[in-house]
Amino acid sequence: MEKLVLLDAHALLHRAYHALPPLSSPQGQLVNAVYGFLKMLFKLREDLEPDYLAVAFDTPKPTFRHQKFVGYQAKRPKMDEELAGQIDLAKKALTIMGIKRLEKEGFEADDLLGTLAEKFKKNNEVFIVTGDRDLMQLVDKQVFLYFPQRGLSAPLLVKEKEVERILGIKPAQVVDYKALAGDSSDNYPGVAGVGPKTAQKLLQEYGSFEQIYQNLAKIEPPSLQEKLEKGREAAFLSQELAMVRKDVPLRVKLDDFRFGNWREKETEDFFKNLGFRSFLGQKKKKEKKSANQARLF
Please give the pLDDT value at position 286.
Answer: 55
Helix (H) or strand (E) run with residue 42 in it:
helix 32-48
Q: Which residues pair with 188 in a beta bridge?
A: 183
Instruction: Compute CA distances 160 → 137, 214, 242, whole Å.
Output: 10, 27, 19
**Model pTM score:** 0.91
Please give the pLDDT value at position 229.
Answer: 96
Please give the pLDDT value at position 207.
Answer: 95
DSSP string, 71-113: TTTTTSPPPPHHHHHHHHHHHHHHHHHT-EEE--TTS-HHHHH
Of residues 30, 168, 54, the one with CA closest to residue 102: 54
DSSP state of 30: B
Residue 81 has pLDDT above 60, yes or no: yes
Average pLDDT of the segment spanning 190-219: 94
Please give the pLDDT value at position 171.
Answer: 97
Please give the pLDDT value at position 285.
Answer: 55
pLDDT in tens, 24-56: 999 999 999 999 999 999 999 899 999 999 999
Average pLDDT of the segment spanning 159-172: 95
